[in-house]
Chains A and B, each alone.
Chain A
Amino acid sequence: MAYTVPRPKLTFAEKLYLPNIVAGLAITFKHLKRMLKGETKVVMQYPEEKWDKSMPEHYRGAPTLVTDQHGRERCVACQLCEFICPPRAIKITPGHIPAENAFAKVEKYPAAFDIDMIRCIYCGMCEEVCPEQAIFLRKDYAITGTSREQMLHNKEKLYELGGVFDGLIHKWNPEK
């Protein structure tokens, strides 16, 4: 069953089309005028104006590694982030902590920890899955580089971005 859309009845002025064109031109001219007078609010001018101050707490920027208050790297190379990472941006090579080390009780640490920032989609799954509270998404969003190598964040870079996180993990405390 075909359904015919009823066409609206047009007045002569509307049929002539010219008054509507003039009305349209008036509307666009109004916008032009308001822009020229600076009355219209426009978008943020990025490099000069930044959003950093009003960035929310939950903002998901670059993933980073953090150390605890004793300077121990929190990551124990459990590779859960590597497993959960949807674009497979994370690559961890686990290593043994030698017996003479102060944190020998922890046994395992990441010998290498690479995040490929070309692949990273900033989803935050790694932070969510981390059982050691070792990986956090910081607020750095302008991750740039001129080569693939520069976009590969290695362990040093990740700790540099991440800093220290005081927190509640007592698991590796020898007293507990």
Chain B
Amino acid sequence: MSTAAPTEVQMLNVQIDGVWMQFPKGTRLIEACSQAQKFIPRYCYHPKLSSPGNCRMCLVELGMPKMTPDRKPVLDADGRPEIAWIPRPQISCAQDVSEGMAVRTDSPMVQDCRKGVMEFLLINHPLDCPICDQAGECRLQEFSVEYGNASSRFLERKVKKPKNVELGPRVTLDAERCVLCSRCIRFMREVANDDVLGFVDRGSFSTIACHPDRILDSNYSLNTVDICPVGALTSTDFRFKMRVWFLKETKTIDVNDGLGCNITVGARQNTVYRITPRENNDVNGVWLPDSHRLNFKYVASEQRLKTPLVRGETASWEHALETLAEILKAHGPESMAIIASARMTNEELFLVSRLSEHLAVNQVDVVPRTGEPDGILIPADRNPNTSGAKALGICGSTPGARLPGIAEQLRKGSIKVLLCFEDPAHCGLTEHDLSKATLLCVDILPNRSTPFAAVVLPGSAWIEKRGSMVNIRGRLQRLNQATLPPAEARNDWEILCDILRVTGGSNLPSTIEEVFKQMSAAHAAFGGLTLSKIGDLGVSIADSLPPSDH
């Protein structure tokens, strides 16, 4: 219930279904009931949004202490206040707890109320669950089973409303399914700062609509689909692709920016169908930008590198690694450079650092990526693991500071071999420069420098690997594997181990857990942690990172 708060919060006595409990002042009644394991059905209430109290689903029976004329509570034999029950039901979502408050969450009156509310909500509902994408995670379905009637008493014609309306480029509206909870309207007003949605028309014809001349094109518009309790708002991208009950959900993190939003990847039979945000109040709350959640199609691209390439020709892993080892052995450390990526996990970056030590290469850096912060979730740093790269010593306090030097030396010819985990064209190198160097690339998709590469090794996309990353706030978070890499592609940490092995490295880890173990032994920032200790929500290691990092 209450955590040890630094400032003294007043605790209030509340009776829930006959049991007296204590809650801190300011707790919503509906939340207090949830904490007491009494779930109250709700449509319009959302913990991150304001409470208009317009769906009436969360009705409960409420009581206050009986008061003597001198405003003292009347106490019963046990010393508890006697309750004066309010004869009409009250909504629990717009009510904070108060001292001596009593609530009945499952009394006959409450049950009747819910049944009545459900019946009204379903009057004009089209009952098209078979085609509705929300089916399976629909509040209306769930509460209909829990609290509703099995049959309809409605004999009149249902109100027809617009269906299959494109509110914006990514969101489709089916107004008939809408229960007018206004969550989407409030989200756009309060969170996305883009007050584009609203109600039009009256009574049973009331419906959601965009402001005239506007469309729902905010980069957070798909969050309205997430919070819509019914199938009124659906994702145009996910529409009719797959039923949600087939999706195997994997908890992982987003890699499109430095925040590392917590997400759930829904995949079936090695194909990713959608990405939804996962609640983590220390990172992203429950939101996720559209640009991030739709940026997974390239993982299933036909263009993916599926087999190793040696000078453009398909080769076996053995042959590719042998060629790579020959190239590395034939050159001195001063003529080599490693371009790592801040999109790699800590484990991979740690192995890169081991490799650079093993080969005595000191020209190592990552490619920086920056953009305009949007003021909501997206920060300026668009690389997911810049903090990790700094902590592991892959880059200095300014990522990419060594890249111009590497590029210059490459042009001069003093660097001949470039081991790249990212497209080296990002370092300002032209095709002419790249064609002069010997490129050894590990990547998932062909890029501008692949045609010049001596050896290309197919790696794994972020959805396909386990590992950890440190976000811009110094939070260590975990990636989990949702799908398998295509064909012969391998996990990047395995590729790095292979490179270490063929160049004569020793003490090679055989599992990702072992990599983490070696890393936590070598770097104090990760000391005492394991991959499983990170947990689904991550742990903050900001205190043990060098202070200059954030």
Contacts and interface: CB of A to CB of B under 8 A. Distances in A.
Q: Does a CB–CB distance below 8 Å link A and B in the complex? A: yes
A171 B240 contact: no
Contact of A78 (B126, B127, B131, B163): B131
B243 interface: yes
Given A94-B240, A94-B241, A95-B240, A107 B130 contact: no
Nearest to B239: A96
Contacts of B157: 176
B245 A78 contact: no
Interface string A108-124: 10000000000000000
A64 B242 CA distance: 22
A76 B131 contact: yes
Interface in B121-175: 126-131, 135, 157-158, 163-164
Contacts of B242: 79, 94
B199 interface: no
Contact of A131 (B126, B129, B241): B129
B246 interface: yes
A131 B127 CA distance: 11
A42 B457 CA distance: 70
A169 to B, nearest CB: 11
Given A95-B240, A105-B163, A171 B245 contact: no
Nearest to B160: A174
A136 B307 CA distance: 46
Interface in B237-252: 239-243, 245-246
Contacts, number: 41
A132 interface: yes
Interface string A68-109: 000000001111101100000000001110010000011110
By size class, the interface of chain A is 10 to 19
Contacts of A176: 157-158
Given A94-B240, A95-B240, A171 B246 contact: no
Contact of B130 (A78, A95, A96, A99): A78
Interface in A43-86: 76-80, 82-83
A72 B164 CA distance: 20
Contact of B245 (A83, A94, A95): A83
Interface in B246-297: 246
B141 to A, nearest CB: 12
A80 B129 CA distance: 11
Contacts of B245: 83
Contacts of A80: 130
A79 B131 contact: no
Nearest to A80: B130
B131 A106 contact: yes
Contacts of A106: 131
Contact of A77 (B128, B164, B240): B240
13 contacts: A76-B130, A78-B135, A79-B243, A79-B246, A80-B130, A83-B246, A94-B240, A95-B240, A96-B240, A107-B131, A108-B130, A131-B130, A176-B158
Interface of B: 126-131, 135, 157-158, 163-164, 239-243, 245-246
Given A78-B131, A95-B240, A96-B239, 12 more contacts: A76-B131, A77-B240, A79-B243, A80-B130, A82-B246, A94-B241, A96-B240, A105-B163, A107-B131, A171-B126, A171-B128, A176-B157
